Structure 1
């Protein structure tokens, strides 16, 4: 009888204990996601997928569409994610706070549209991204290739991955050294296919579409993949994104 009472009491305590007591969070992210005319339909899907990843991998995140979050305590976050929202959205005070966060060892994740910012609008942010995005050809199906099989954002990705996305064309005006994670094979799609009145030129054999590097004292992971909502339901894409989150937030998992 006493054993049954003890078991029942234990079950009650387990059910009523806070979630943090049952599974302590490993780290916390700040996710900035502002809807705009190009990207908005992905938001509820991406948020739902991040919630599932957070439960599975025991981390927390604060989701916001308000840049005022950058005026608070950024030090509580292991990394800041710009999700289809570029840094140009931050005002001068918020930019200064984010720069200070990175100088203090903060980390950043840049996803798809967040890599695009007006040239010379905020040179520091362009250097954080590591590349300047020019034009981007129409969404097409192509072959993504793994360039760094020892990096966590590739662990769930096949060596040659059939994927459909906007394969951004980039330049390097600030001579930033990046470490390519994924490339796209330009022979697998038409890199010149773009809207009337615009011109797109191939980048050639070296066409990185995801990379990592250091900026200030922090880690930076950039993936230019993730154009539409359905992509945030795709297990391979989510494995790629989670690998980037994991490395950026913890610095762990990279195979040398």
Structure 2
């Protein structure tokens, strides 16, 4: 009789352990660079690992595209996060694997210089939505919330000050499906920049974070995230987790 009760108790404990160990979703964090290497990558990795602990999801961090961008490696992941990636980081075969991943109904999150990545790949340009052109010196500006019906946006007031590196994006329209979350008020900072023959004078209407449903999957992008200390800011972390959560699960938007 005691053996029977012991077996039952062990089964219950095993069942409860499995419930506790089960994670919400699994994220692949990719930080490969082939150009500028942001100092904030280490802080970003640390922050996302802490978000995973706090919000009960798995995260795997890698920089080796050859090892990671295969169907076998990615099959158990729900979302791919490009954290401050730059320039040409995937070959043709790896691009096809990434494309199939999104088309299978899964998600993408791009942070800051993810828009400074894979310029020669039209599909990726459309996935991100806008591509980096130039930026002025880091400075304080006022951000404005355009959409509160998205996870993570609930922490922001309608207008607030923020210090970052303000990306001006190319004029090309890569996607018509972008749902803008945040814009930067260009009257509150100096947007002019000139790098040789490349010049930026501001965009007028200046989106800085957005999301979209794309090619069967989901895509979230935020241009915030240049300065290392930003990855300790609770508002930014909620904004980032909201994007990861939605891209991985499709949840959080009130219909």
Asked whether the 8 Å contact 1:35–1:43 carries over to 2, the reply is no
Distance 1:136 1:216, change over 3 A: same
Partner of 1:77: 77
Partner of 2:182: 182
Matches of 1:175 and 1:131 in 2, distance apart?
8
CA-based RMSD:
2.6
Listed one character per residue, the Cα deviations across residues 10-66 of structure 1 (whole Å, up to 9, x for unaligned) are 9xx98x999765342010000101256633432332222112211111000110111
Matches of 1:160 and 1:110 in 2, distance apart?
23
Partner of 1:90: 90
Partner of 2:110: 110
Partner of 2:37: 39
- Larger mean CA deviation between 107-116 and 29-38 belongs to 29-38
Uncovered stretches (5+) of structure 2, i.e. residues with no partner = 1-5
TM-score by length of 2: 0.86
The size of the alignment, in residue pairs, is: 244
Deviating beyond 6 angstroms after TM superposition, the runs of 4 or more aligned structure 1 residues are 16-19
Uncovered stretches (5+) of structure 1, i.e. residues with no partner = 1-5
Give the deviation of 1:202 after TM superposition. 1.6
Partner of 2:145: 146
Listed one character per residue, the Cα deviations across residues 81-118 of structure 1 (whole Å, up to 9, x for unaligned) are 11111473011110010111111112100110111136
Matches of 2:87 and 2:99 in 1, distance apart?
11
